[in-house]
Each structure stands twice: as C-alpha cells, then as structure tokens.
Structure 1
C-alpha cells in the first residue's frame, strides 16, 4: 500500500505542469556493475531528481538494494525516500509516507495479555 502511495506521489511530481521550454538535463550519471551481483548507480538531473542505489547479492539468491530517490514537489519542497529491499521485502522510509495511528492503551494491554497467554501455552479454538 505504501509503495502504491509513493508511486502515485512520484507520478504526480513527474506529471506536474512545467514550461514547454524546460527540458531536464542529466547532470550526473554514474554506474558500476561488477557482474557478480554487486552494483551501484547514481544520477541527478537539472530538474531536481536525484537517485542512488547500492546492490549486493542476497543469501537467498535475490539482490539486496539500499538506496534513495528525491524530487522537487510542485510547491518547491524536496521529497526524499530512502529504502532497503532484501529478503525481508521493500521497506521505504520517508516523511511523505503515511503512518498508522498509535494504538490505544486498551489495545496495547490486550496484546500484552495475548503474548503472555501464548508464552504459557494457552490456545483458543
């Protein structure tokens, strides 16, 4: 769900109206691939898009990637997302992403009781 929201935010940022004569130029484009699963890349454009990532081979055959991307929102604010993608999935971090409301005290107490019961071997059918 968070990825969908993030993708929508990126699409809105990219689709924002811009003057016809403004064409983004690539300011930096660095790529390295060792061929063994280790790689990194970074690029930056004149319209404020910055992307970087480092990849390493994962223990379960996947690529582990740690990276970030940022872009300028229509109101001029710089939006940044940092992420890790590995055997535990894709985990983005950003102030842009919504967070769940804190659990109320009674819910926290119920969770603690359930954990205690589980530890004691109590089960319910």
Structure 2
C-alpha cells in the first residue's frame, strides 16, 4: 500500500507543470513575405526581431517535385552571425556553410573510383 501511495506521489510530482525558462522571450516576426503559385513555384522570406533571416525560392523540378534554393542566417549569442545556404532538388539536399565541418581531402584512389562510377552512370551501366 505504501508503495502505491509513493508511486502516485512521484507521478504527480513528475506531471506537475514546470515553470517556463526565465530566458524565454516571445520572438516577433518583423517581416514576412510569402508567395505560392500552387505549381511548385513559391517564395518566402521572413525576419525576426532576434535577427533570424530565412528565405527560399521554389521552382518546378523535372520529376514533379519543387526544387528549392534558400538559406538562413542567425546571430550567435556571443556575437557574429551564422549563415547557411542550400539547394534541394532531384540530386538531393546540398547545404553550404562555414559552420559545416569539412572532412579531409579524398585520397587519389577514391577520386578515381568516383570518376569511374560517374562514367559508368553516364553510359547507362548499372549494377
């Protein structure tokens, strides 16, 4: 019986509403532009009062998808700005940013394997 009472008290304590974080503040949108043509073509751009800036442009893709080019920037708490741009299309999602870690250069044999695979793909050779 004591175990059941303690379990119920523990459940009530865990389920109790938590106080919001003291550093949370409402973020206002200071600029918001949107355009959607319904055929894969769209455009949006918004900016917050925190300095977050997001934009994207969509165009119809070759397989019925929307190809998207866009990006965003945001301020770092300690100063400076982070930026990222991207393309998302039939070839995948390709982000570019100084924030993305870069691996070491590929060794020559790996570059040759990639070249051979691209040549085979171009010729229609599949496995």
TM-score, normalized by the shorter chain, greater than 0.5: yes
Q: Aligned in 2, Cα 1:87/1:18: closer, same or farther, shift over 3 Å?
A: farther
Alpha-carbon distance in 2 for matches of 1:98, 1:90: 16
What TM-score does the superposition give when structure 2 sets the normalisation length?
A: 0.66
Higher relative contact order (Cα pairs below 8 Å, separated by 6+ residues): 1
Structure 1: unaligned runs, 5 residues or longer: 1-16, 120-125
User: Could you list the runs of 4 or more consecutive aligned residues of structure 1 that deviate by over 3 angstroms after TM superposition?
Assistant: 17-20, 110-116
Alpha-carbon distance in 2 for matches of 1:65, 1:113: 31
CA RMSD of aligned residues (A): 2.4
What is the CA distance between 1:46 and its match in structure 2? 0.5
- Which of 1 and 2 has greater Rg? 2
Total equivalences in the alignment = 96
Show CA shifts across 1:23-63 (max 9, x none).
Answer: 32111000001111110000000001100000011011111
What is the CA distance between 1:102 and its match in structure 2? 2.1
What TM-score does the superposition give when structure 1 sets the normalisation length?
A: 0.67
